[in-house]
A = this chain, B = another copy of it.
Amino acid sequence: MSDYGPLSFKVPEPPVRPGDEPDFSDFEVPKAGTVRKPGVDTDAQDIKDLATTMIRVLNREGDVVGPWAEELDKDLLLHALRSMLRTRAFDERMMTLQRQGKTSFYMKCTGEEAIAIGQQLALSEGDMNFPTYRQQGLLLCQDYPVVDMICQNLSNARDPLRGRQLPVLYSSKKHGFFTISGNLGTQYIHAVGWAMASAIRGDTKIATAWIGDGSTAENDFHAALVNASVYQPPVVLNIVNNQWAISSFQGIAGGDQATFAERALGYGIPSLRVDGNDFMAVHAVSKWAIERARRNLGPTMIEWVTYRVAPHSTSDDPSKYRPREESAAWPLGDPVLRLKNHLIKVGLWTEERHTQAEAEFDGEMRVAAKEAESYGVMGGGSSARDIFEDVYKEMPPHLVAQRQKLGV
């Protein structure tokens, strides 16, 4: 009847699977320093190209190049590298605790350390992050007590969250770190709402929203973008594209058809795609977006291109769905090494200091873990009374009765 052939169904597949050679041949990496830097007041439609290229500052030689390069304070740079190392040491210690059965669950951010830390160091006191579970760097580059973080992971007597949350789902208002939700994507619109509130009150504080590549598919991503587009609040909309969402590659979130940064363009929101393994690029672009927000110029989206070197979580074995060697083949390298090389090159750092620092943070984390363990492991030390607190500000009669029934 019809002169049309049968339709066929297309499901995107990653270029390689376990057993194959890693293949990033389709992954384009512009040379560092080649992408222009517009003024913060530039119109969204005049910088659409920035959503499809990749802003890079640190080149292979460890130089800082191009218009996004800037002189950074020496202390800031050293603090950044040390925070990245500290984050890595923290992750390793937590993995050990998990293997030792002291916590049930953990999530590393290996390979993504530059992103959270690069942005946090561009924020001001009072700004508020709405993070996911892979931004521990936001806390670890501030003065948040590591022992508290570990206690949260151990759900013990000193867990600031009273044992109520799964490990890694930290919360600290004081450190501008919104309570992490287990439900993906919900925080994106919270950040927008918080930024709207700041504008409504004539404040100067801004919000940052965090989401993973896979989670951009969640509906609340759209809710956030629509509201950001309509009300133009002071918010930085971060997408951490680490290529994977548990076992699904970024094509299952639509990444094969457009960059994640491009999503924002259809809402008239300026959007930049950035090498997320390049601390200098992260910091520079973050500052640009934060400046836009703080100057009341509205929201900015940033896609941070990176790679999830670690398994999704301790419950996951990535060799089931991607080549074991894929992370080593990742073209953007290791963010720690890249910053280290730069600092060595400019004379701020040495191999020796690096080795020393690694040992120092390993030591710090051991000591901190030891202290934290003394308050209990695997939920030990948590109080059953805490089940009933904080459901409401004041405990209603039915909860009082239930607590009595439990006898606590």
Contact = CB atoms under 8 A, between A and B. Distances in A.
Interface stretch (A139-147, A265-273, A313-321): A265-273
B258 A230 contact: no
A183 interface: no
A269 B263 CA distance: 11
A204 interface: yes
A44 interface: yes
B226 A6 contact: no
Nearest to A265: B266
Contact of A202 (B8, B226, B264): B8
A25 interface: no
A9 interface: yes
Nearest to A7: B199
* Chain multiplicity (copies): 2
Interface in A302-354: none
A53 interface: no
Interface stretch (A71-79, A169-177, A246-254): A246-254
A232 B251 CA distance: 12
Interface string A1-35: 01011111111100000000000000000000000
Contact of A222 (B44, B124, B198, B221): B221
Given A6-B203, A232-B10, A262 B263 contact: no
Interface in A241-295: 251-254, 256-258, 262-269, 294-295
Contacts of A44: 257-258
Contact of A266 (B12, B262, B295): B262
A228 to B, nearest CB: 9
Interface in A28-72: 44
Interface in A72-96: none
A336 to B, nearest CB: 32
A387 interface: no
A6 B202 contact: yes
Interface in A208-226: 217, 219-223, 226
A296 interface: yes
A232 B11 CA distance: 8
A135 interface: no
A204 B2 contact: yes
Interface of A: 2, 4-12, 44, 124, 196, 198-200, 202-204, 217, 219-223, 226, 229-234, 251-254, 256-258, 262-269, 294-296
20 contacts: A4-B204, A6-B204, A7-B296, A8-B199, A9-B200, A9-B231, A10-B199, A10-B231, A11-B231, A44-B258, A219-B219, A219-B222, A229-B257, A230-B251, A230-B254, A254-B268, A257-B267, A258-B266, A258-B267, A258-B268
